[in-house]
C-alpha cells in the first residue's frame, strides 16, 4: 500500500547543504558588519501575542488583515507567528527596560511568516536581518543607519538604488492626507478600481499605484515633502546633506510610503529591477511613536529589514554566491585490509583539523570517481602495497601537485604541498585555494 507522500507546507522551503553554504557565508559577512556599527544580536520568540502585531503594525494594513498566521493557544490566547521583527524587538526592549536613558542597538536574523501567494522573491516563511536603533532622534542616526544598509549591500556585491522620502510628523502627515484627498476626490472617477477603494482608507497608497492612469494623476499631486512640519523638513534636509557628505547616492521618491503604520519622518528603500515584481531588497525608516504606543517611554527609534532570500537571489544573479566548502583530502582504501590504516590516517589528520572524506573499500576506478566527486583538494589511496611499505602518493586533484612518502609522514607531505599547520577550523577550508594563490 502506497503511503501518501508528505510535502512541505506551501511557500516554505527546505534548504540543502549546497545552498546553505551561501547562507552561512552571507550571515557571517553580515554579523561582521554589524559589529563594526556596535549592534548586538537579540534573539526573539517566533511567536507573539496577536495583539502586539495588531497594535504595532496597524489594524488596517494588509499584513494584519489577511497575511498573519494566527491561531488559538490551548488556553484560548490568540498567538501569531511573527510577520516582521520590529514589533517583537520593541516589546522586548520595553519589557526588560533596556531603553531608559540608553541607546541600545539590536539586530536579529531569522524567519518571518506571511500568508501570501508565493512568487519570485516572496515566500510564506522567509528570512530577514532586522536592525533597530533606539533613543536617538537626530538625522545623524538616520544617515548612519542608511550607511550601514549601503555597506551591507556593497559587501554582498549587490547593485541597488537608494530611494528616500520623509513622512513628516503624524500631524503633518494627517494634514497632508486631507490635502491629498481634496486633490484626489474630484479625480476619483479616473482612478483604477483598487485606488478608488483604497483612496479613503490610505490615500498615500494611490501615489505608488502602477496603473498608468493613476500614475498620471499621482505625478501632479501635491508632494508630501512640500508640506512637512518645519522640524521634519529640517531633519530631512540634514539627512540629505549627510548622505551627500558620505558619498551615498540617493533619489527622493515622493511616492515612497512604507506599508506599516508606525513610520514617521525618514523612510528609505533599496530597490532593484532584477527580482521581477519584488524589487525591494532592504527597507526601513524612523518610528518615533511606536515605543510609547506599545506602552514604553517616549523613545525615538529607527530601523530596517533586509530580505535574505532576495539578497541571495541577487548575489546569484551577480555571480557573488559562495559555494560549499571543499574537504582538503580524500582518503580511499583499496581493500578490506587497508581500511584500518586508511581510517587511522583520516582520524589522525582530523586531530590536526584537516577535513577528510574517506571511502572504501572499493575498486581503483570507483575510488577515483569518488575522489573526484568529493571535490577534495588532494587525494590519497591506500592498498596492499602501502601496507607493505610502498610510498603513498598525495595528488592535487585539479593541479600538478604531487608528493610521495611514507604513510606516517602524510602531514609533512601536505605541508610541503602548501597546507598550513596547525589549521584553525574546518570552515576555513574553502579559503585554501585563495590563500595559496596569494603566496
Partner RNA sequence: GUGGCUGUAGCUCAGUCGGUAGAGUCCCGGAUUGUGAUUCCGGUUGUCGCGGGUUCGAGCCCCGUCAGCCACCCCA
Does position 302 interact with RNA (CB under 7 A)? The reply is no
How many residues bind RNA (CB under 7 A)? The answer is: 69
Among 170, 364, 408, 416, binds RNA (CB under 7 A): 364
Three-state SS sequence of 11-45 = CCCCCCHHHHHHHHHHHHHHHHHHHHCCCEECCCC
Rounded CA gap, 240 and 206, in Å?
Answer: 26
Does position 305 interact with RNA (CB under 7 A)? The reply is yes
Span from 69-77, 89-97, 119-127, 343-351 in contact with RNA (CB under 7 A): 119-127
Q: Under rule CB under 7 A, which residues in 195-214 are in contact with RNA?
A: 198, 205, 209-211
Does position 48 interact with RNA (CB under 7 A)? The reply is no
Does position 309 interact with RNA (CB under 7 A)? The reply is yes
Q: Under rule CB under 7 A, which residues in 277-296 are in contact with RNA?
A: 277-283
Among 100, 185, 373, 427, binds RNA (CB under 7 A): 373
Q: Which is nearer to RNA, 208 or 229 (CB)?
A: 208
Does position 393 interact with RNA (CB under 7 A)? The reply is yes
Q: Which is nearer to RNA, 318 or 353 (CB)?
A: 318
Among 77, 241, 398, 408, binds RNA (CB under 7 A): 398
Span from 29-37, 148-156, 301-309, 319-327 in contact with RNA (CB under 7 A): 301-309
Among 102, 119, 297, 416, binds RNA (CB under 7 A): 119
| Per-position b or e across 188-210, b if 16+ CB within 10 A of its CB | eeebbeebeebbeeebbebbebe
Among 135, 300, 303, 383, binds RNA (CB under 7 A): 383
Kindly state the smallest distance separating residue 297's Cβ from RNA, in Å: 25
Does position 91 interact with RNA (CB under 7 A)? The reply is no
Among 117, 424, 437, 439, binds RNA (CB under 7 A): 117
Does position 190 interact with RNA (CB under 7 A)? The reply is no
Q: Which is nearer to RNA, 296 or 307 (CB)?
A: 307
Span from 131-139, 304-312, 319-327, 431-439 in contact with RNA (CB under 7 A): 304-312
- The footprint of RNA (CB under 7 A) covers 2, 4-5, 7-11, 61-63, 66-67, 84, 114, 116-123, 126, 128, 194, 198, 205, 209-211, 258-260, 269, 276-283, 305-307, 309-310, 334, 363-366, 368-369, 372-373, 379, 381, 383, 385-386, 392-393, 395-399
Amino acid at each position: 500500500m502506497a503511503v501518501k507522500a508528505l510535502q512541505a507546507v506551501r511557500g516554505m522551503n527546505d534548504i540543502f547543504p549546497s545552498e546553505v553554504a551561501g547562507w552561512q557565508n552571507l550571515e557571517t559577512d553580515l554579523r561582521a558588519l554589524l559589529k563594526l556599527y556596535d549592534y548586538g544580536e537579540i534573539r526573539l520568540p517566533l511567536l507573539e501575542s496577536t495583539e502586539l502585531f495588531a497594535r504595532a503594525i496597524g489594524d488596517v494594513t494588509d499584513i494584519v488583515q489577511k497575511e498573519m498566521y494566527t491561531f488559538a493557544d490551548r488556553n484560548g490566547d490568540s498567538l501569531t507567528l511573527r510577520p516582521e521583527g520590529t514589533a517583537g524587538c520593541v516589546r522586548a526592549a520595553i519589557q526588560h527596560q533596556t531603553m531608559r536613558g540608553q541607546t541600545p542597538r539590536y539586530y536579529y536574523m531569522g524567519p518571518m511568516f506571511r500568508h501570501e501567494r508565493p512568487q519570485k522573491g516572496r515566500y510564506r516563511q522567509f528570512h530577514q536581518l532586522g536592525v533597530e536603533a533606539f533613543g536617538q532622534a537626530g538625522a545623524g542616526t538616520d544617515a548612519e543607519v542608511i550607511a550601514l544598509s549601503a555597506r551591507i549591500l556593497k559587501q554582498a556585491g549587490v547593485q541597488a538604488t537608494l530611494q528616500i522620502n520623509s513622512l513628516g510628523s503624524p500631524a503633518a502627515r494627517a494634514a497632508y492626507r486631507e490635502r491629498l484627498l481634496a486633490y484626489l476626490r474630484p479625480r476619483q472617477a479616473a482612478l483604477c478600481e483598487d485606488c478608488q477603494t483604497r483612496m479613503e482608507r490610505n490615500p498615500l497608497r494611490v501615489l505608488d499605484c502602477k496603473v498608468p492612469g493613476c500614475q498620471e494623476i499621482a505625478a501632479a499631486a501635491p508632494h508630501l515633502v512640500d508640506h512637512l512640519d518645519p522640524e521634519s523638513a529640517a531633519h530631512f534636509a540634514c539627512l540629505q546633506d549627510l548622505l551627500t557628505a558620505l558619498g551615498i547616492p540617493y533619489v527622493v521618491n515622493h511616492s515612497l510610503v512604507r506599508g506599516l503604520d508606525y513610520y514617521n519622518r525618514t523612510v528609505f528603500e533599496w530597490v532593484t529591477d532584477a527580482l521581477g515584481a519584488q524589487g525591494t531588497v532592504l527597507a526601513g525608516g524612523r518610528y518615533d511613536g511606536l515605543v510609547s504606543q506599545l506602552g514604553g517611554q517616549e523613545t525615538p527609534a529607527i530601523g530596517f529589514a533586509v530580505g535574505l532570500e532576495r539578497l541571495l537571489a541577487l548575489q546569484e544573479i551577480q555571480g557573488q554566491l559562495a559555494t560549499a566548502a571543499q574537504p582538503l583530502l580524500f582518503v580511499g582504501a583499496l581493500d578490506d585490509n587497508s581500511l584500518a590504516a586508511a581510517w587511522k590516517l583520516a582520524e589522525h589528520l582530523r586531530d590536526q583539523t584537516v577535513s577528510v572524506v574517506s571511502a572504501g573499500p572499493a575498486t581503483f576506478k570507483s575510488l577515483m570517481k569518488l575522489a573526484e566527486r568529493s571535490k577534495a583538494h588532494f587525494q590519497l589511496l591506500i592498498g596492499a602495497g602501502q601496507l607493505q611499505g610502498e610510498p603513498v602518493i598525495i595528488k592535487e586533484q585539479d593541479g600538478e601537485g604531487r608528493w610521495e612518502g611514507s604513510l606516517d609522514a602524510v602531514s609533512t607531505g601536505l605541508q610541503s604541498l602548501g597546507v598550513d599547520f596547525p589549521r584553525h577550523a574546518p570552515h576555513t577550508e574553502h579559503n585554501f585555494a585563495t590563500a595559496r594563490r596569494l603566496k
